[in-house]
């Protein structure tokens, strides 16, 4: 796929996704760092775990095994348990809140909240990119497009063998209108011919297998559903250069085809 063909909305969505992924990491990393300080943990150790052992797995592990919150003894400045009755370092009895220095924790909440919001935005961006693809905005969906086609349907049990001017296709089934394509080269339009052998089974009345040959504004289509012999199609209406060769599946299955330009 030529990325120059992709619409600007695709690149915007990807950029926004990366932006919020970075923001999520930064907000959670800051929160872990500050929370480690409060609890007497090693911030560096947990930040390394958060960074290299999957960000969110590291965050979950930290939330499970982190120590209880610590407080600072007003007398000696040592960290002590928030439920301690006395300081284990200097022996000061902790009788009321005036004997300890409480950490200001409200400022830490903004980081975890911001991280959660950024994480939610990642999901929104992913959904937007999926919707963009499913609705066809990632590329052309018209069978006569001058560019590569992005299918919005699906196929089952597909096998292909492609070379410069040869294409073998075997396809069990596909959604209606699904298009398979390849690029081939025309080097001598006046002499070269497209040869096609194809078989398929019709699943609904009116079903068909269509061959499309597209080069710029030159578009040719041929119904190849019930070929009794090899199709020979002259290419003198086309110019020297690349050409799209497409097979459009419309309510047919068990498609087998061989296409050669020579």
Average the pLDDT over 205-225 and give the result: 94
Q: Which CATH class is domain 155-261?
A: mainly beta
**DSSP-derived secondary structure letter, 228:** S
Query: Would you say 262 and 187 are in contact if contact means Cβ atoms under 8 Å apart?
Result: no
List all residues 6 or more positions away from 74 whose beta carbon is below 8 Å from its beta carbon. 92, 98, 99, 100, 101
Give alpha helix (H) positions in 1-77. 8-39, 43-52, 55-65
| Residues carrying CATH 2.60.120.380, the chain | 155-261
Average the pLDDT over 147-158 and give the result: 78
User: Whole-number mean pLDDT of the chain?
Assistant: 81
Average the pLDDT over 50-74 and give the result: 69
What is residue 4's predicted lDDT score, i.e. its pLDDT?
Answer: 47
Query: Would you say 5 and 141 are in contact if contact means Cβ atoms under 8 Å apart?
Result: no
Query: What's the predicted TM-score (pTM) here?
Result: 0.55
């Amino acid at each position: 796929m030529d990325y120059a063909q992709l619409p600007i909305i695709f690149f915007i969505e990807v950029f926004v996704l990366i932006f919020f992924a970075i923001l999520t990491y930064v907000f959670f990393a800051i929160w872990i760092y500050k929370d480690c300080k409060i609890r007497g943990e090693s911030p560096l150790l947990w930040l390394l775990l958060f960074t290299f052992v999957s960000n969110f797995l590291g965050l979950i592990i930290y939330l499970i095994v982190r120590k209880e919150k610590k407080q600072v003894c007003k007398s000696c400045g040592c960290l002590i348990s928030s439920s301690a009755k006395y300081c284990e370092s200097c022996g000061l009895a902790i009788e009321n809140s005036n004997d300890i220095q409480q950490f200001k924790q409200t400022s830490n909440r903004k980081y975890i909240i911001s991280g959660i919001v950024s994480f939610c935005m990642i999901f929104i961006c992913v959904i937007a990119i999926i919707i963009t693809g499913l609705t066809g905005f990632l590329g052309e969906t018209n069978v006569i497009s001058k560019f590569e086609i992005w299918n919005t349907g699906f196929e089952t049990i597909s096998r292909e063998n492609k070379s410069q001017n040869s294409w073998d296709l075997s396809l069990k089934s596909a959604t209606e209108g699904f298009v398979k394509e390849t690029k081939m080269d025309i080097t001598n339009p006046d002499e070269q011919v497209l040869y096609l052998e194809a078989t398929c089974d019709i699943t609904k009345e009116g079903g068909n297998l269509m061959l499309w040959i597209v080069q710029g504004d030159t578009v040719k289509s041929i119904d190849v559903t019930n070929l009794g012999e090899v199709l020979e199609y002259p290419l003198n209406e086309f110019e020297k250069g690349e050409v799209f060769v497409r097979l459009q599946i419309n309510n047919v299955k068990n498609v087998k085809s061989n296409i050669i330009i020579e």
